[in-house]
Amino acid sequence: MSQSSLFNAGETLEPGSRAQVLVPYPLSRAYDYLVPQNMPVAAGDYVRVPLGKRDTIGVVWTTDAADAKVDPAKLKSVLQKFTFDPMPQVHRQFIEWVARYTMSDVGSVLKMSLSAPEALQPPKSVPVFTLTENIPVKLPASRQKIIDLLKDGIPRRAVDIARAAGCSAAVVRSMAAVGQLQTLAGAPPAPCEMLDIAENRLSFSPDQKNAADALQKLAAANQYAAVLLDGVTGSGKTEVYFEAIAEALRNGKQALILLPEISLSAQFLERFERRFGVQPALWHSEVPTAQRRVTWTGVAEGKTRVVVGARSALFLPFADLGLIVVDEEHDASYKQEEGVLYNARDMAIVRARLGSFPIVLVSATPSLETMVNVQQGKYTYLNLPSRHAGARMPDINVINLKVTPPERQKFIAPPLQKALHEVFEAKEQSLLFLNRRGYAPLTLCRTCGHRFQCPSCAAWLVEHKRHSRLQCHHCGFAQAVPRNCPSCQAEDSFAACGPGVERIQEEVQLLIPEARTFILASDVITSPGMISAAVHDIEDHKYDIIIGTQIIAKGHHFPSLTLVGVIDADLGLAGGDLRAGERTFQLLHQVSGRAGRAEKPGRVFIQTYMPEQTVIKALAKNDRDEFLAVEAREREKALMPPFGRLAALILSDPDENKLDVFCRTLAQKAPRYDDIRVLGPAPAPMGFLRGKHRRRFLVKAGKNLPIQKYLAEWLGNVKAPSSLQLKVDIDPQSFF
Ligand code: ADP
Ligand code: ZN
């Protein structure tokens, strides 16, 4: 990894000289500006500069004004310098690194770091509200909701409280007027500033203690190290890495915990609070603007000590970051698939190297990439082999649907039906897992065979009974279900093909009418707040049978849940995705891990038409390492990641003809080298998406070849028509 020598921190520019300022727009470099009298600037300073007809915030990128060719008379001046701690040098290096690696404009990467631009303005003194010393009891539900919201200790403006609690701002003000809340003026304090970092009070098992000691040593050492913390669900990994966090904090550093967005639920936050006495600073897409602003400021000033966030939190300009934890490191949602295409787990490794501090990857089902890095000695390996307090791993039963099929138009086979009954009788909970939202993935006309298709995508419309609509899961298109077939006009002649979670719920209701059922899917549960509420309801046993998509698979702990049924284990194995087997294993293993996490033992039923598949066999034997070994051998033979490198080009255009002409030109111009192969152009599996036709190239290179350099050489040679969009995806995760 090359360290950029661009940055000469500390040198202050004298007025009359130039500074290069990077602005958060899709530009590939910083531009020269004049530094006015009485406004000396240094690298990292946040400034306001003119840009075209407008002005924008930006960051002084370098101070050795390189572009001396530009006539000073043509240069514009820096307009304003913010009185704010400069962006640390290491963070600027990180931005440059990510831009180079992902082949993105450095300005676009900067934009991800300037994610709360309001933070730079001096705080307006808007009153904020917080709890009083003596929290009032016995309030009406609407007021109690406000109290609960503020228990995280973060003061908020009346409007933000009102929005979150679903009341009017007047309620908040009147609570303050009668002393149920207190009013603070001016800038709210930084979140997560004072933590309890004393030694842990839990008594760790010997394995936990070993792992925690090793992590603490690394966290105290101020140098780069990557660690995999491997352990089955419920083995106490979280408690162990909390101790690494505590050590980093004792060392005066900040810490970052990355989680898949939907795992950022109250359950995790409560545990954090139990350990550290306060809630962490949260960072994800739903955090309201005012809170983003205080958090961004707190992080940049070094006051906020721990951030728990989704992948975007990696781009916060930490003043002194000293530890990153990537929980569920195998999770596909770490890859950002829009804008700058980056993998937050991989870029977190880069961030740790640049900052010379340790990083801990955590998983019960580590990715093959990470396991290979362990085997090659690049990562330290720590293992928690058993569940905490001796809870057993569940029994896994494979149901061969060829032998014991469900009834026609039904999807739950007899052995699973029986188990559902037993668990219901025993007053325990069941989870049915099906990774498909809605009622049915395909609707067709029984009379003429008409199929409902999205007008803008090569995809069927999915019926959602709950809204009586047909929806495209790719572009969001939706229409009401018509009475008559659009082709043959037959009335009420539609048939649903295949199941979604809504259809499974219907089947369960027929099977056990007394059971209380609940659907947990991303179109029903749209925020971490909603998932928290749902998780609490499940914990409180308000439901007997939960029907869920993959959002249920993540890290939750339900003591009375003793049965997991996988409706269609084959679903993820269709389509030629490189990681289909690996992802299916991870997902189904995680789902299975929801069963029997407390004293009661759990059972898992996996329904499949392909019981002989490696993945299913590995799940049945609960043999992860054997599965990974087979997977690794196959990838190595094919020179696929992590044994070779991939990059994808995705081209799209509304005009199919123009697209194909350009793709042919591009293919001809591909430079030829021995160890690099270009596959394509091929129609993308989603050959038509959001009204655009799509084509893909796949570049396959040896492990240590500079694939970016190759792409730069290739793409530097061609000019794409303006309507055409060309995206470069380094280390692609999705192949649609
Ligand atoms: P993982 O992160 O590996 O899934 P957790 O850290 O969530 O495991 O631990 C599972 C459960 O066991 C949690 O409720 C946790 O608080 C509890 N736990 C883990 N270690 C201990 C310990 N040493 N003493 C008491 N409870 C523990
Ligand atoms: Zn669509």
Mean pLDDT value of segment 240-250: 95
Top-confidence residue, 605 or 526: 605
The model scores a pTM over 0.85: yes
User: pLDDT (tens digit, 9 = 90+) per residue, 534-585?
Assistant: 888 999 999 999 999 988 876 677 889 999 999 999 998 876 688 999 999 9
Place of tokens 């939907």: 262
Q: Which of 242, 388, 392, 599 has most ligand 1 atoms within 8 Å of CB, for mutation?
A: 388
Beta strand extents in 487-539 (DSSP E only): 494-497, 517-520
The dihedral built from the CA positions of residue 330, 642, 368 and 433, taken in this order, carries a sign that is positive
Bridge pairing between strands 254-258 and 321-327: parallel
Write out the two tokens for 689: 């998406």
Write out the two tokens for 219: 């966290």
User: pLDDT (tens digit, 9 = 90+) per residue, 622-664?
Assistant: 888 999 999 999 999 999 999 999 999 999 999 999 999 999 9
* Element at 183 (helix H, strand E): strand 181-184
Place of tokens 């149920």: 180
User: pLDDT (tens digit, 9 = 90+) per residue, 102-131?
Assistant: 999 999 999 999 998 888 876 666 788 888
Contact 381, 205 (CB under 8 A): no
Position in ligand 1 atom list of the atom nearest CA 274: 16
Count Cβ atoms within 10 A of the Cβ of residue 606 and give its class: 0-12 exposed, 13-18 middle, 19 or more buried. buried
Alpha carbon separation from 644 to 2, 112, 634 (Å, rounded): 21, 29, 12
Alpha helices (runs of H) in 540-613, residue ranges in sequence order: 580-592
Place of tokens 């631009």: 117
Is the pLDDT at 255 greater than 90? The verdict is yes
Residues 6+ apart with CB under 8 A from 121: 82
Ordered by start, the domain boundaries in the chain are 3-114, 126-186, 206-388, 391-436+501-631, 440-498, 644-730
What pLDDT is attached to residue 1? 35
Domain 206-388 matches domain 391-436+501-631 at the CATH topology level: yes
Phi, psi of 57 (to 5 degrees): -80, 160
Q: Which of 199, 228, 238, 239 has most ligand 1 atoms within 8 Å of CB, for mutation?
A: 239
User: pLDDT (tens digit, 9 = 90+) per residue, 469-490?
Assistant: 999 998 889 999 999 999 999 9
Top-confidence residue, 563 or 156: 563
Which residue's CA is the closest to the ligand 1 atom numbered 21? 236
Contact 310, 283 (CB under 8 A): yes
User: How far does residue 392's CA lie from ligand 1's centre (Å)?
Assistant: 14
Ligand 1 neighbours, Cβ below 6 Å, are 202-204, 208, 231, 233-239, 388, 557
Mean pLDDT value of segment 714-725: 91
**Using CA atoms, how far apart are residues 18 and 606, in angstroms rounded to an integer?**
66
Pick from 553, 621, 558: nearest CA to 584 = 553
- State the architecture of 391-436+501-631 in CATH terms: 3-Layer(aba) Sandwich (3.40)
Pick from 240, 218, 222: nearest CA to 231 = 240
User: How far does residue 387's CA lie from ligand 1's centre (Å)?
Assistant: 8
User: pLDDT (tens digit, 9 = 90+) per residue, 50-90?
Assistant: 998 999 999 999 876 555 667 777 889 999 999 888 999 99
Is the pLDDT at 726 greater than 50? The verdict is yes
What pLDDT is attached to residue 389? 63
Fold observed for domain 206-388: Rossmann fold (3.40.50)
3-114 belongs to CATH 3.40.1440.60: yes
What angle in degrees, to the nearest 10, is found between the helix axes of 158-165 and 169-177? 120
User: How far does residue 451's CA lie from ligand 2's centre (Å)?
Assistant: 14
Contact 691, 651 (CB under 8 A): no
For residue 8, name the pLDDT band (cuts at 50, 70, 90).
very low
Left if phi > 0, otherwise alpha if psi is -120 to 50, otherwise beta: which for 468? left
Mean pLDDT value of segment 399-422: 96
Position in ligand 1 atom list of the atom nearest CA 231: 3
Mean pLDDT value of segment 606-620: 94
Position in ligand 1 atom list of the atom nearest CA 232: 3
Please count the CA atoms within 13 angstroms of the CA of 263 that sit on its side-chain side. 24
Pick from 585, 598, 205: nearest CA to 384 = 205
CATH number of 644-730: 3.30.70.600
Ligand nearest to the CA of 203: 1
Mean pLDDT of the chain: 90
User: How far does residue 458's CA lie from ligand 2's centre (Å)?
Assistant: 7
Left if phi > 0, otherwise alpha if psi is -120 to 50, otherwise beta: which for 192? left
What pLDDT is attached to residue 123? 64
Write out the two tokens for 529: 């707040």
Q: Fill in the amino acid letter for 398.
A: V
Contact 565, 424 (CB under 8 A): no
Task: Centre a 10 Å sphere on the Cβ of residue 342 and count the other Cβ atoms it contains.
Answer: 26
Q: Compute the residue count for the chain.
A: 736
For residue 6, name the pLDDT band (cuts at 50, 70, 90).
very low
Write out the two tokens for 233: 């669900």
User: How far does residue 698's CA lie from ligand 1's centre (Å)?
Assistant: 43
Mean pLDDT value of segment 431-457: 94
Contact 200, 246 (CB under 8 A): yes
Contact 474, 689 (CB under 8 A): yes
Count Cβ atoms within 10 A of the Cβ of residue 477 and give its class: 0-12 exposed, 13-18 middle, 19 or more buried. middle
